[in-house]
Amino acid sequence: MHVSDAPVGSRELTTERRKPAAAAAARSFPLRYAGRTVIALGAHPDDIELGVGGSIAALSAAGTRVVMAICSVPADYETRVAEAGAAAAILGAELRVLMPGGCRRIEDIKTYQLVGLLDEMVRDLRPAAILTHGPTDFHRDHVAVFNACLSTQRLQPFDFYSYLPTMCRPVPVPFQPRAYIDISGTIDRKMAAIAAHHSQFYSRGITYEMYRDFARINGRMVGVEYAEGLDISRIIFS
């Protein structure tokens, strides 16, 4: 299974630590967006926390304005908005509900209206990045949000990332990250933000420890304790 027979010394594992702080900063995800706005977008409450809770906590800690935008709340409006608000507070982000005021379904509006809601938010916030669902998700609403986001790109270039398929009950679908973000320092806040969705997990006897396993495996891929893995549709460098 090994690729080379030559023994690989411990040098590989320790060199990274000796990098000067400046160089390390240059590859920081939070610093890339410091002083700017990032939109974390999800179809429903708890999607964002499951997908990118650790990255959001890191971004807001570094001075990025993060808007957690939920498209719709399909049931238990008051409870779920309150839970989402608590989770956003834990992560240091603002909460928005794009279809507010009561229980709504994404399918209640047309695709072009959903694009319109995103357009409005993009014109308002001028985001440097949007983090949302990906095209291989098993949930049609999640795919619809990704597709609407594709269209919104015509207004303005922004970094466009997708997070893994989110689910409280597991449904296997393919997902392969391209961007790895170290969340070793914020994994606990991520888990706490998920836990804030008490009505979805604790009160139904559903565990979410699987998301810690995902983060540990992603971390192992890049030599840190915990990482979130994102797919990339577009990233823009000057």
| Side-by-side strand order, sheet with 65-70 | 94-97, 65-70, 37-42, 129-132, 159-163
Residue owning tokens 């949930």: 139
Q: Which is nearer to its own copies, 100 or 120 (CB)?
A: 120
Q: How far is the CB of 94 from its own copies (least distance, A)?
A: 19
State how far the Cα of 76 lies from the Cα of 41, in Å rounded to an integer: 20
State how far the Cα of 201 lies from the Cα of 14, in Å rounded to an integer: 39
Q: Which is nearer to its own copies, 51 or 92 (CB)?
A: 51
Q: Does 170 bind its own copies (CB under 8 A)?
A: yes
Q: Does 198 bind its own copies (CB under 8 A)?
A: no
Q: Does 78 bind its own copies (CB under 8 A)?
A: no
Q: How far is the CB of 89 from its own copies (least distance, A)?
A: 19
Q: Does 6 bind its own copies (CB under 8 A)?
A: yes
86, 139, 192, 195: which one binds its own copies (CB under 8 A): 139
78, 124, 156, 202: which one binds its own copies (CB under 8 A): 156
Neighbours of 156 (CB within 10 A): 12
47, 127, 131, 132: which one binds its own copies (CB under 8 A): 47
32, 96, 189, 190: which one binds its own copies (CB under 8 A): 32
Judged by CB under 8 A, the number of residues near its own copies is 100
Quick one: which H or E segment has residue 150?
helix 140-152
For 165, which DSSP code?
A: P
Q: Does 10 bind its own copies (CB under 8 A)?
A: yes
State how far the Cα of 177 lies from the Cα of 18, in Å rounded to an integer: 27
Q: Please name the residues in contact with 30: beta carbons below 8 A apart, sequence gap of 6 or more.
A: 58, 59, 61, 62, 63, 64
Q: Does 37 bind its own copies (CB under 8 A)?
A: no
Q: Which stretch binds its own copies (CB under 8 A): 82-90, 92-100, 162-170?
A: 162-170
Site for its own copies in 56-75 (CB under 8 A): 74-75
Q: Which is nearer to its own copies, 24 or 89 (CB)?
A: 24
61, 85, 147, 192: which one binds its own copies (CB under 8 A): 147
Q: Are 123 and 155 in contact (CB under 8 A)?
A: yes
Beta strands at 129-132 and 37-42: parallel, antiparallel or unpaired: parallel
Q: For residue 101, give Cα distances in angstroms to 37, 87, 142, 188, 227.
A: 25, 19, 21, 31, 35
Q: How far is the CB of 198 from its own copies (least distance, A)?
A: 14
Q: Which stretch binds its own copies (CB under 8 A): 84-92, 94-102, 112-120?
A: 112-120
